[in-house]
Amino acid sequence: MPQPKKHQTVIFFNILGDSLAIALSFLSAYLLRFISGIIPIQDQPPISEYAKSLLVIIPVYLWFFRAYGLYKPGRHIRRIEEIFLVAKAVTFAIVTLMAITFLYRGLSFSRIYLGALWFLSIGLISMSRYAVIDIEYRRKVQKKDMTRVLLIGATRNARTIIQWAKFNPHYGHEVVGVLARDAELTGKHVEGIEVIGRIEEWEYFMDKLKPSSVILLDPAYPRDRITDLVVACEDASIDFKVAADIYGLMTRNVAIENITSLPLLGFRSLPLDDFWNRLVKRLFDLSVSSLLLLVTFPLWIVIMIWIKIDDRGPVFYNQERVGRDGRVFKVIKFRTMKVDAEQGTGPVWAKPNDNRRTGSGDFLRRWNLDELPQFLNVFKGQMSLVGPRPERPHFVNQFRETVPRYMARHRIKSGLTGWAQVNGYRGNTSIQERIKYDLYYMENWSLLLDIEILIMTFSAFKNAY
């Protein structure tokens, strides 16, 4: 399917903006290194010698940007993820340029210059891309360059797509109608979008509505008719997609493997299946947890004294939780409940205005301060700073029988905070929705996402009781 002209325009402006930002970074790094006087120099190379290297620098940068999918058309990506990809691509471009200077002595750079170029190009290229994305978002919010979508199948996936289009207007998807298998649904609405006819009438509605995209959502649609639909979309230059609803599994982490001519659909490996990604995450956990243990220690003293004065019981509370690969460990918390709070009830969820809480516990839980001792769990490697929140064995045994893919969340280390928690899914909230957020995090992990979640945690007080 040829790329829509609007996608080609966005790609062109991204390439143009990247090239200008690289050139400006090059000039700024030269001025900083050799002209500013901030860094002592012995010999100042003429700028013309460095300028010639732009014929190498720009193609190297653009090649890595393409390798990281930064010129992929129609991407649905958050801006902070875009910046992280830019940083990774620039880093590899700089390493490549350094290797070239070692191999080819006719092209020689100051190492300090390369460091300045790395820093400046990440900043300037990110600013350029942010501007292009912002202009694109504004046009789509203003209903310009919209992608008109026809949904074939009034299924739960249709509801999901319509909700996504409404909540993300900056991506510019407008659902123009839904076709249903059941004729009785005609005239009714799915999330506010009218069911305009039956699936068998797709040819008529494609001609009438002129959609730019058709999405097949009916899993029972006959294979021979799918071929007709694909051919009709190709003839009309309409983008065609089919939803892969693998028995209702909640995932975006799908890959296709070809065995001879047979494509097989399966799950991709997770980012944290990679040894180097796990190492980076562990080093990050160690450094941050060590720092926070030192910084928050005076607060620990205050909290421990308060708990002792409040009801004279134990300061800490150890509770069994299930972590990575189903291993059970003891999580450490400041005690916020009365001693033997579950003696008569057994394991139960905390709830608003829970009369089992102590006076100090109400404040500590509201401000997430009861979680501070878990930095020790992170330091020891039992947990990570960010990940799916570990659950008690009692509840794990319940959920693994009733919630699809619940145990998949145990493929990575549990976290002190997580993507579900900062979005309000904590405590006695929907487990199904929580799993969706946990799986999204696992499938889209990056160090920048961890940092973003940690920052969001400072304001994530919803359902903290």
pLDDT per residue as tens, the chain (465 positions): 444 556 677 788 889 999 999 999 989 988 888 887 777 676 777 787 778 888 888 999 999 998 888 888 766 666 777 888 898 899 999 888 888 777 665 556 677 888 888 999 999 999 988 888 888 888 888 887 788 999 999 988 888 889 988 988 888 889 999 999 888 899 999 999 999 999 999 999 999 999 989 999 888 888 878 888 888 888 888 888 887 654 444 556 666 666 556 666 666 778 898 888 999 999 999 999 999 999 999 999 999 999 999 888 889 989 899 999 889 999 999 998 887 766 655 555 565 566 677 878 888 888 888 899 999 999 999 999 999 999 989 889 888 888 878 888 899 999 999 999 888 887 667 788 888 889 889 988 988 889 989 988 887 655 454
Q: What is the pLDDT of residue 287?
A: 96
Verify that 132 and 231 share a domain, yes or no.
Answer: no
Verify that 177 and 134 share a domain, yes or no.
Answer: no
Q: What is the pLDDT of residue 5?
A: 57
Residue 253, in any domain of the structure? no
Domain boundary among 227, 245, 263: 245
Q: What is the pLDDT of residue 178?
A: 94
Verify that 155 and 123 share a domain, yes or no.
Answer: no
Verify that 304 and 440 share a domain, yes or no.
Answer: yes
Residue 462, in any domain of the structure? no
Verify that 373 and 277 share a domain, yes or no.
Answer: yes
The pair of three-digit structure tokens given for residue 260, joined into one six-digit string: 């001879």
- Distance (Å) of CA 126 to CA 55, 72, 73, 108, 440: 21, 16, 18, 27, 24
Verify that 306 and 391 share a domain, yes or no.
Answer: yes
Domain boundary among 88, 120, 141: 141
Domain boundary among 99, 124, 141: 141
Verify that 108 and 10 share a domain, yes or no.
Answer: yes
Residue 65, in any domain of the structure? yes
Residue 317's domain spans which residues? 273-457
Verify that 331 and 437 share a domain, yes or no.
Answer: yes
- The span from the CA of 133 to the CA of 290, in Å, is 38
Residue 264, in any domain of the structure? no
Residue 254, in any domain of the structure? no
Residue 426, in any domain of the structure? yes
Verify that 67 and 190 share a domain, yes or no.
Answer: no
Verify that 135 and 9 share a domain, yes or no.
Answer: yes
Q: What is the pLDDT of residue 183?
A: 87
Q: What is the pLDDT of residue 350?
A: 60
Verify that 342 and 413 share a domain, yes or no.
Answer: yes
- The span from the CA of 325 to the CA of 264, in Å, is 27
Residue 266, in any domain of the structure? no
Residue 251, in any domain of the structure? no
The pair of three-digit structure tokens given for residue 122, joined into one six-digit string: 């990440």
State pTM to two decimals.
0.59
Nearest in space to 319 (alpha carbons), one of 307, 328, 332: 332
Counting the structural domains of the chain, the total is: 3
CATH classification at residue 221 = 3.40.50.720
Verify that 324 and 227 share a domain, yes or no.
Answer: no
Q: What is the pLDDT of residue 3?
A: 47
Residue 219's Cβ-side half-sphere holds a number of Cα atoms within 13 Å equal to 8
Q: What crossing angle do the helices spanning 5-30 and 54-67 adopt, rounded to 10°?
A: 130
- The span from the CA of 425 to the CA of 421, in Å, is 5
